[in-house]
Amino acid sequence: MSTSPVNNSSSVASSIATPLTVTTGTSTFATDLQASVNRAIEIASLPMEAVQNDETTVNSQITELNNLGTLFGNLQTSLQTLASGAGSNAMAASVDNSSVAQASLSAGALPGTYSVDLLTAGSSSSVLSNETSTPVTDPTSQDISQSAVFTLTVDGVDYTIQPPTQTLNSLAASINASGAPVQAVVVNLGTPEAPDYRLVLQSTALGNVSMQLNDGTNDLMSSLTTGQDASYTVDGQPPGGITTDASTVTVAPGVNVTLGNTTGVANITVSSSLNSVSSALSSFVNSFNAVVAELQKNFGTGGGALVGDPSVLNMQQVLDQVVNYTGSGGSITSLAQLGVEFTQQGTLTFDSSALSDLSPSQINDALTFLGNPNSGGFLQNATNTLDQVTDPTDGIIVSDTGSLQNELTQDQTEVTNDQQRLTTLQQNLQAQMAQANALIAQLQQQTTFLEGMFQYSTSNNPYASSVG
């Protein structure tokens, strides 16, 4: 679960601290009165500022949990890759005579040795476009026919070919994209000084395959070579051989053999292999170390946003449980025997040579130890253990994120209420100070008037200087 933190608006406290209406007036105490209002608002804003600081902290914690969620997700993906490597991909085929046959494996392949005797090397049929009175010297601008639509016939099946441009290159590309069981190429039968580009069609099937390209008026192709079917035996059976027009055949479940062009015997050995497991273990270690590095940012003083959060320790314990899994039975019971070991920093290292040194029986034991996410072994244990962190319903990350979101909602409600309270307080104080300012100004005006009257009366009284 990924949750984006809520961005705070501009500081509410600072905006409230700015007076809605500056106290003004003729009173000489107007500035002092405004300072009193500002100070009162600043003090009243302190609780709201504390809540805003908590909002910032919670947002940082949510962001960090999202980061950890992504990294734990990558770790789960690496386990899926490892499961694939330990499953149907944990087999390899070797061939002692690649000119006779080559082998590839698919799901269902079982360990074993298969002897393929290629009795007849098959070949494909091919046809060549006819010589024209005006040779094609530039296949990017010329064609073997001015027709816009062609009919390709392969073993009695018609395919409509409609190139986007009237060029030989475009015609060949359209044939290849048509789905017809042929391969089209453009060849130059002329000299560099006098090119003569022709179209060649080769059947994808072995044997005598008829092919023709017609432009609506004329057949454009002439036979070049006639192919033949291949024949072979598997472990000497059947004695007369198996005839096929396919270049790739299945000699056993999951064991696919591409027949070569040289007759003879090829021995194909299918055995358990850890090549794909090695690559997957390397990815697992890298993903594991990325999670550890992020978690370590949240330990100790001056650490990340989740310092002191018990979920960090819980997640670290989950990682330890994953790597410390111990299998039962067989010669391989730990990841350490597969080259995966802890460092003093709590990260993992992987030594692929540990896999290459395993015997065939140990390879089988290693695959048993790894198991499957759904049926047992390390992979099932690791998958179930990581679910404690990543489960979308009640995993550590989604649970902590939900709690923080609730706290964030409460903080936002409290800030809104505080803002309204401060606005009301400020309005009341401004009104009160305005009244005080006006009263003081009136008193100051009266004082000034009385002082003026006194000065006037004393200045016009000839006896004023002798009074007292």
DSSP letters spanning 140-207: TT--S---S-EEEEETTEEEEE--SSSSHHHHHHHHHTTT-SEEEEEEE-S-SSS--EEEEEEEEEES
Range of the structural domain that residue 208 is part of: 124-225
Closest CA to 1 of 383, 395, 398: 398
369 CB neighbour count, 10 Å cutoff:
26
CA 235, CA 253: separation in Å to the nearest integer? 15
> What number is the average pLDDT over the span 308-331?
92
> What number is the average pLDDT over the span 344-369?
91
**Same domain membership, residue 167 and residue 116:** no
**Same domain membership, residue 72 and residue 103:** no
**Same domain membership, residue 132 and residue 113:** no
**Same domain membership, residue 380 and residue 349:** yes
> What number is the average pLDDT over the span 63-70?
93
In a domain, 363, yes or no: yes
**Same domain membership, residue 336 and residue 311:** yes
CA 374, CA 87: separation in Å to the nearest integer? 12
Picking from 215, 239, 272, the residue at the C-terminal end of a domain is 272
Query: In which element (H, E) is residue 117 found?
Result: strand 112-120
Q: Which amino acid is at 369?
A: F
Picking from 350, 384, 403, the residue at the C-terminal end of a domain is 403
CA 201, CA 350: separation in Å to the nearest integer? 51
CA 247, CA 144: separation in Å to the nearest integer? 31
**Same domain membership, residue 259 and residue 169:** no
In a domain, 301, yes or no: yes
Q: What is the DSSP letter of 123?
A: B
**Same domain membership, residue 390 and residue 298:** yes
Q: Kindly tell me the burial class for residue 217, based on how many C-beta atoms sit within 10 Å of its own C-beta (0-12, 13-18, 19 or more).
A: exposed
Mean pLDDT of the chain, nearest integer: 88
In a domain, 22, yes or no: no
In a domain, 42, yes or no: no
Closest CA to 27 of 465, 430, 439, 324: 439
Picking from 347, 377, 403, the residue at the C-terminal end of a domain is 403
What is the model's pLDDT at position 88? 60
Higher pLDDT, 2 or 179: 179
What is the model's pLDDT at position 182? 98
**Same domain membership, residue 213 and residue 70:** no
CA 142, CA 128: separation in Å to the nearest integer? 17
In a domain, 332, yes or no: yes
**Same domain membership, residue 284 and residue 398:** yes
In a domain, 9, yes or no: no
Please report, to the nearest 10 degrees, the dihedral formed by the alpha carbons of residues 162, 167, 171, 174 taken in order: -70
Closest CA to 62 of 309, 355, 394, 370: 309
In a domain, 135, yes or no: yes
CA 467, distance to chain mean position in Å, is: 101
pTM of the model: 0.59
What is the model's pLDDT at position 216? 95
> What number is the average pLDDT over the span 160-164?
97
pLDDT value at 19 more than 70: no
**Same domain membership, residue 288 and residue 380:** yes
CA 367, CA 338: separation in Å to the nearest integer? 10
Q: What is the domain count for the chain?
A: 3
Give helix then strand counts, H and E, for the chain. Answer: 9, 17
**Same domain membership, residue 191 and residue 117:** no
In a domain, 34, yes or no: no
> What number is the average pLDDT over the span 46-58?
78
**Same domain membership, residue 356 and residue 256:** no
Q: What are the C-alpha distances in Å from 44 to residues 16, 41, 353, 422?
A: 10, 5, 68, 7
Q: Which amino acid is at 240?
A: G
pLDDT value at 367 more than 80: yes
